[in-house]
């Protein structure tokens, strides 16, 4: 047991203790949980409050478990090195499980402790303790379910498993946002719940809240007990899948983008930029942390706009206009994650190459434009033309693309961390404290531009002429950059 404890302490030191302690993430959980519990504690009964309180840690841990904490659900990459020490495979497995349960438990407690302290008096001391215990157990069951899911996904051919994880994280992220925005409208319904409703059988927090249900444990309580037993079995077997291996980035999307890449290399990418362009273009989709962090962040706001837009009225058409210009507002998120890599030590290969920073930035910028902006703008343009009107798309889509290109160049010119150079956990150190201000300024600016273009651009010809002028200017700037001597 002493060996297992020593291994857990060593793994925790590498994951969350010391300088890498996620103080900001834990503080955010405390604040969010406290605010939501304060809002609902006087509006629902004891059972309804427990259901809400258990929903908070479930949501706030599901997203990081699919994102930055996903490596916890895989085998320790240092297992072979540690295995050379006087420890058994059983010790390593128990230590890995213990590390996972400790980190996930700490995240859950950050939301559960405020929820227990703010619980209504009718819950009592015993109910508060059970609330914390049920919440920790529920979060551990979530980790077990995702661990089993990882095992299944590793057996899928090609990149099917990684693609499913991206879709799953995006769906979970959207569900969390929708739940936070819409769920408060249904507080009167929560007040009337007894725990015997059939709809609660598909809602995990209701299973673990059965101890406070007026109807008693019932079927939801039995489901909770069964889930706990299955989770214990999963942790006992500890089927941690291996760390992701290098895979081909060939996909349907890469095939579709091949003509755009060839065209960019022919007309836009200079000879000196070809190496960083190809490097970033091919490597970014292979970086799991980049894909899992960036795609949901970009897709979620766009999906919200698309769902809220109604082409049958003028205001809905205005939302479609905002949708076209939204990608430019979220470019800082994309650029912030471009340095993400699971192998930062390999950066020396690029650092020792005869390549100056300006050339690398320009090549990376063009790779981002082709790899990310091209499919994003094509998808949004098709969405607007099919759900709103072809005229609106033809009038605003070209100028939206032009604004996106200009915004990308301006942001890169302001400075960008070296591509594929930084571990995911250290990303925030690559951007200064002005990220929030940049995002806010871009959101306001893109809203103003979208409204102005929607109101003033009378025909598609003007919009296409603007796009043509921006493309010509961009090509001229690229040739000028190529002609200037490197510093």
Task: Decide if pLDDT at 430 tops 50.
Answer: no
pLDDT confidence of residue 487: 45
| pLDDT, tens digit (0-9, with 9 covering 90-100), for 338-377 | 888 878 888 888 888 888 888 898 999 999 999 999 988 9
Please provide the distance, in angstroms rounded to a whole number, between the alpha carbons at the two ends of the chain.
58
Rounded-to-integer distance, Cα 462 and Cα 413, Å: 28
In the chain, % of residues over pLDDT 90: 26
Task: Decide if pLDDT at 418 tops 80.
Answer: yes
Rg (CA), the chain: 25
Rounded-to-integer distance, Cα 119 and Cα 374, Å: 50
| Span of 106-110, 220-224, 238-242, 407-411 with lowest mean pLDDT | 238-242
pTM, rounded to two decimals: 0.69
Rounded-to-integer distance, Cα 359 and Cα 362, Å: 5
| Span of 137-151, 337-351, 417-431 with lowest mean pLDDT | 417-431
Task: Decide if pLDDT at 486 tops 50.
Answer: no
Rounded-to-integer distance, Cα 154 and Cα 164, Å: 11
Rounded-to-integer distance, Cα 468 and Cα 16, Å: 50
Dihedral sign (CA 361, 366, 368, 369): positive
pLDDT confidence of residue 18: 45
| Span of 113-117, 178-182, 215-219, 223-227 with lowest mean pLDDT | 178-182
pLDDT confidence of residue 6: 77
HSE (side-chain half, CA atoms, 13 Å) at 43: 15
Look at residue 456 and give its three-state secondary structure. helix
Query: Which secondary structure element, helix H or strand E, spans residue 412, and what is its range?
Result: helix 390-413
Mean pLDDT along residues 392-402: 93
Mean pLDDT along residues 381-404: 90
pLDDT band at 472 (very low <50, low <70, confident <90, very high): very high
pLDDT band at 114 (very low <50, low <70, confident <90, very high): very high
pLDDT confidence of residue 429: 46
Mean pLDDT along residues 80-90: 69
Rounded-to-integer distance, Cα 110 and Cα 155, Å: 35
């Amino acid at each position: 047991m002493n060996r297992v404890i020593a291994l857990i302490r060593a793994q925790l030191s590498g994951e969350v203790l010391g300088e890498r302690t996620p103080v900001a993430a834990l503080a955010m959980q405390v604040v969010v949980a406290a605010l939501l519990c304060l809002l609902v504690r006087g509006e629902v009964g004891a059972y309804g409050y427990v259901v809400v309180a258990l929903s908070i840690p479930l949501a706030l841990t599901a997203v990081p478990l699919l994102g930055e904490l996903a490596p916890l659900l895989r085998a320790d990459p240092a297992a072979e090195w540690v295995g050379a020490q006087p420890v058994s495979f059983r010790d390593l497995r128990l230590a890995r499980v213990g590390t996972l349960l400790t980190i996930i438990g700490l995240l859950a407690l950050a939301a559960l402790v405020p929820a227990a302290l703010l619980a209504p008096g009718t819950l009592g001391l015993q109910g508060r303790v059970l609330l914390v215990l049920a919440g920790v157990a529920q979060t551990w069951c979530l980790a077990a379910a995702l661990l089993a899911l990882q095992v299944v996904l590793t057996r899928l051919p090609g990149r099917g498993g990684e693609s499913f994880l991206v879709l799953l994280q995006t769906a979970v992220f959207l569900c969390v946002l929708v739940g936070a925005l819409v769920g408060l409208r249904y507080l009167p319904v929560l007040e009337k719940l007894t725990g015997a409703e059939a709809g609660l059988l598909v809602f995990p927090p209701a299973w673990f809240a059965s101890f406070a249900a007026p109807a008693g444990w019932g079927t939801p309580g039995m489901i909770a007990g069964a889930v706990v037993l299955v989770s214990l079995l999963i942790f006992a077997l500890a089927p941690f899948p291996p760390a992701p291996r290098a895979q081909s980035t060939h996909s349907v999307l890469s095939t579709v983008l091949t003509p755009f890449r060839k065209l960019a290399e022919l007309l836009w990418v200079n000879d000196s930029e070809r190496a960083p362009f190809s490097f970033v273009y091919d490597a970014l989709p292979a970086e799991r942390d980049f894909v899992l962090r960036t795609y949901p962040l970009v897709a979620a706001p766009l999906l919200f706009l698309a769902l809220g837009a109604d082409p049958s009225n003028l205001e809905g058409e205005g939302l479609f206009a905002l949708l076209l210009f939204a990608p430019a507002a979220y470019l800082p998120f994309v650029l912030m994650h471009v340095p993400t890599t699971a192998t930062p030590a390999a950066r020396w290969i690029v650092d020792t190459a005869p390549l100056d920073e300006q050339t690398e930035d320009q090549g990376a910028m063009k790779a981002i434009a082709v790899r990310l902006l091209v499919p994003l703008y094509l998808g949004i343009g098709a969405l607007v033309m099919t759900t709103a009107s072809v005229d609106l798309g033809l009038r605003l889509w070209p100028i939206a693309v032009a604004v996106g290109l200009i915004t990308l160049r301006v942001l890169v010119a302001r400075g960008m961390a070296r591509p594929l150079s930084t571990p995911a956990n250290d990303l925030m150190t690559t951007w200064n404290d002005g990220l929030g201000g940049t995002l806010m300024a871009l959101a306001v600016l893109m809203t103003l531009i979208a409204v102005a273009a929607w109101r003033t651009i009378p025909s598609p010809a003007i919009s296409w002429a603007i796009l043509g002028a921006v493309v010509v200017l961009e090509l001229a700037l690229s040739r000028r950059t190529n002609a200037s001597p490197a510093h």
